[in-house]
Amino acid sequence: MTFKRTFHAVETHSGEPMRVITGGVPHIPGNTVYEQMKWLEENDDQIRMLMLREPRGYPPLCCNLVVPAKHPDAAAGYIIMEQVEYPVMSGGNTISVATVLLETGMIPMQEPVTEFQLEAPAGLIGIRAECSNGKVTSVTFRNVPAFAAHIEKVIEVPHLGKVTVDVGWGGMFYVIADVRQFKGLELKAEHGREITRVSALILKAAQQQLPVEHPHYPGYGITVAQLSGPTENPNADWRNAVTVASGAIDFDNPATWTGAIDRCPCGTGTSAKMATLHAKGQLDLNQPFRHEGVLGTVFTGNLIEQTRIGDINAVVPTISGRSWIYGYNTYVLDPDDPFVNGFTMGDIWA
């Protein structure tokens, strides 16, 4: 049988499921991975929809396309795809892509440490992978500069009231709220439905009330919400639940007050959190920051230097974490399949 499309993928997770497509993607025009990402978004968004929607995907899933690097110093490039957007950077996905490239032999592994650079849409990302017995046991990446866009702003959130939030860039714009503002809500898996409800309402309100702008990425706004709070884990400093949107949010339609909780501690979310803590004088340079996700796994961040993005004061984060391969798949689109872009349904999708 001749299929319309065929993709070869490695399935990974760091709690969060992160698919890495290693074969089947056609040539994508562009002089940089960022230009390739924009071309894909405008001309072949079918790949994202097929891989992330049902029957091949579900709301928490992320996906990455491994592409040849355009920058001469990069070993490979990758394009990140999520349910409602193409982020220029993602921490958990970066860790997963690096793990796949090394454990499948696409990039030669050197033990005990392999160092190389990847080209994300955001630019060059330095990778330091600790390796043992053919396995990647930890990945540390040097992220793009992070910064605080808003600190301790009070916004009016329909159905919730006044909420104090920070907004930070860590490769995506995050609105961050301390969970202790919401009586009875805890950052644990069994509170997932209420976490996503509260987060969706905060995200929509922040998008309307807190303008943001990145000098390099015009048009990118706040797209992710993070609830944050203390942890009882002696091996962590802070706990978070990041909710990724799975559709448009409408204050008048409670069915849309939802999303998908990031099952890992979230690398760009950790970077954004560290940037806001640093701006408030609560986190120093070279002070390890252990960030725990809702499953109890931990990413460790570090702000290694100060810098500027245009006129904005920024900091450079590193993030360390781990991802695991759990499967290898070939996905196809049958010529008779009526759902050429996949599908969603309101029982689990916004």
- The amino acid sitting at 47 is I
Ramachandran class of 114: left when φ > 0, alpha when ψ lies in -120 to 50, beta otherwise: beta
Strand partners, 27: none
The SS3 assignment for 21 reads: strand
3-state secondary structure of 75: coil
Residue type for position 348: I
Q: Which residues are catalytic?
A: 90, 266
DSSP 3-state assignment of 188?
A: coil
DSSP category for residue 329: E
Tokens 């408030």 -> residue: 280
In the block, residue with structure tokens 């509170």? 191
Alpha helices, DSSP H only, in the chain? 33-43, 46-52, 91-103, 192-209, 267-279
- How far apart are alpha carbons 244 and 226 in whole angstroms? 9
**What are the tokens at 107?**
């990039």
- Phi/psi at 111 (5° precision): -100, 145
Signed CA dihedral, 152, 146, 219, 341: sign only = negative
User: CA 68, CA 74: separation in Å to the nearest integer?
Assistant: 9
With beta carbons less than 8 A apart as the criterion, state whether 299 and 322 touch.
no
> C-alpha distances in angstroms, 134 versus 12, 115, 116, 126, 278?
16, 15, 17, 21, 37
Q: Give the E-state strand segments of 82-171 in sequence order.
A: 113-120, 123-132, 135-142, 147-157, 161-169
